[in-house]
Structure 1
Amino acid sequence: MPTTFIAPDGLQLSYTVWEGDGRHRRPVVLHHGFAADSQVNWVNPGVVDALVKAGFTVIALDARGHGASEKPHDPAAYGEDIMAADLTALFDELGLDEVCLAGYSMGAIVSLLVATRDRRVRCLAVGGVGAGIVDFGGVDARVINRSQIAEGLLAEDRSKVPSAARPFRRLARRAGADVEALAAVMHATPHGPMRLTNLSAATLILAGESDELATQPERLAAGIAGARLVRVPGNHMEAVAHPAFAAALVDFFAYSDTGETRLPISSPA
């Protein structure tokens, strides 16, 4: 059952908790991607179910502007730094001392920011990102034009939607999203360069083999001390739903907790 808490700026945000069986001391916190929500990004593809079956307590946040959280239409209410503060506030709200954190796409950027600042993040998994983090500190600007995404979300004439915006428009409709709020997210000031050298958490990078937003993930892995890289089938919208994604996530977090692993997790070349 979703629960709410108050973010540092007074916004009401929604999160859901699924209790594990006590095998693992650290809960897994999930942060979804842009235009999705916890249900679409984590529940429907079976990620939550896989983690809970493995014994983890799972906590999934609906980011501001998404899902059941409040959705202001002012770009000043958004940005990865603000969303990172929301995650930290959630840790505080729940009294969490140690967490495993996983983020996808927008959620990966937010999760990386949190992990560089908050030592409570002991293990981190990010998907849907690659060299864009290294070169731009966030979404790969060579692939995504934020203004075009906002324009495509708001367009009344489908024929005028830029091709890059179409997958996000379809995703927003699937999630029943507030497109004006999502456009505001895209108009927010993006985060600048990220200090990956500040990241001390054990880190896994999950990249779809044909994900246009996660190109050259080995460059991202090389920038994070001890990071591991696993490639899974699929493009940006498909990779998170592939069974290999959830399997690698479960295996990595279980390894961080017990030292046992099944999947071949390799260092970047």
Structure 2
Amino acid sequence: MPSFKSDGVELAYDDIAPPGHRDTVLLIHGFASNRYEGWRRTGWYSAFERRGSRVIALDMRGHGESGKPHDAQAYGRARLAADVIGLIDHLGVQGCTLLGYSMGAHVALNVALEAPDRLGKLICGGIGGRLLEPESPSPLAEALPAAMLAEDPETIEDPMARSFRHFADEQGEDLKALAAFLAARAAPFEAADLAGVRSPALVFAGARDELAGDPQALASALFDARAVVVPGCDHFSAIPHALTKGAVFDFQDGLLDEPEPDAWR
């Protein structure tokens, strides 16, 4: 298992490069997931391999085989972006496509803002217009930290928080680390800030993804972005779906329509 240190935390990653690879994709998983569950088991590793792409995927701090601090200060927005930038620099990669899902998409947006010279294209999944809503704790945001620390997950009343806890337990994740991760809650993105994301971007979300909201609302806040709604999918089922992979590959190959002029900033 290859790894590198970022701010003293050991971060595990995979780097799979077919001979003569056509491009490089760096994958960032969602909350309570890891590189194996989020990308390998769901078929993304093999799908990119068939395309001849180099695949890099890391376990974010607090997840998988990476270090798991129990201090919320270890999980700030800038720190998470620096981990990804550190891996890009560690491997000497330039112009990679960055693909993040849910929490990973938040991190990907920050990387695009902090280090635009490291990226080619940007793909953000499992997020949408709700990213831009004024700061007000949602029921899930309030319930999730306590859900990670509940002695009996069956006592968790919020159904989505209970689903995340069951998912974390299935992955054998460190619940105290996940609770610390959540305690470092960041303020919402501002549309004016996101206009500074200049990489060509794709935003996608399942049609039934109540956590994400409308992907077009977020795409319209970016300089050069397209939006795709994956039919029939919710927050959890969109990531393994073949239609999601098709949309991502069409975007990479330049086959999606250009964004409408009024979406440009």
C-alpha RMSD over aligned residues: 1.9
Which residue of 196, 206, 212 maps to 2:210? Answer: 212
Which residue of 53, 64, 71 maps to 2:61? Answer: 64
Unmatched segments (≥5 aa) in structure 1:
256-260
Question: Which residue of 2 is the match for residue 90 of structure 1?
Answer: 87
State whether residues 154 and 179 of structure 1, in contact with CA within 8 Å, keep that contact through their aligned partners in structure 2. Answer: yes
TM-score normalised per structure 2? 0.90
Question: Which residue of 1 is the match for residue 249 of structure 2?
Answer: 250
What is the rounded CA distance, in whole Å, between the counterparts of 2:38 and 2:258 in structure 1? Answer: 25
What is the rounded CA distance, in whole Å, between the counterparts of 1:232 and 1:43 in structure 2? Answer: 20
**Is it true that 1:175 corresponds to 2:171 in the alignment?**
yes
Question: Which residue of 2 is the match for residue 258 of structure 1?
Answer: none
What is the rounded CA distance, in whole Å, between the counterparts of 2:79 and 2:53 in structure 1? Answer: 27
State whether residues 79 and 191 of structure 1, in contact with CA within 8 Å, keep that contact through their aligned partners in structure 2. Answer: no
Unmatched segments (≥5 aa) in structure 2:
none
- Size of the aligned set, in residue pairs, is 256
State whether residues 13 and 58 of structure 2, in contact with CA within 8 Å, keep that contact through their aligned partners in structure 1. Answer: yes
Which residue of 49, 71, 80 maps to 1:52? Answer: 49
TM-score normalised per structure 1? 0.89
What is the rounded CA distance, in whole Å, between the counterparts of 2:20 and 2:132 in structure 1? Answer: 37
State whether residues 133 and 188 of structure 2, in contact with CA within 8 Å, keep that contact through their aligned partners in structure 1. Answer: no
State whether residues 229 and 266 of structure 1, in contact with CA within 8 Å, keep that contact through their aligned partners in structure 2. Answer: no
State whether residues 126 and 212 of structure 2, in contact with CA within 8 Å, keep that contact through their aligned partners in structure 1. Answer: yes
The percent of aligned pairs where both chains have the same amino acid is 37
In structure 2, give the amino acid aligned to 1:49.
S
Query: 1:177-233 deviations in whole A, cap 9, x for unaligned?
Result: 111110111111414434111111010011111001111221101111221111113
State whether residues 12 and 59 of structure 2, in contact with CA within 8 Å, keep that contact through their aligned partners in structure 1. Answer: yes
SS in 2 for 1:57: strand
Equivalences for residues 1-269 of structure 1 within 5 A: 2-7=1-6, 9-24=7-22, 26-119=23-116, 120-136=118-134, 141-142=137-138, 144-145=140-141, 147-163=142-158, 164-194=160-190, 195-233=193-231, 234-255=233-254, 261=255, 264-265=256-257, 267=259
In structure 2, give the amino acid aligned to 1:98.
G
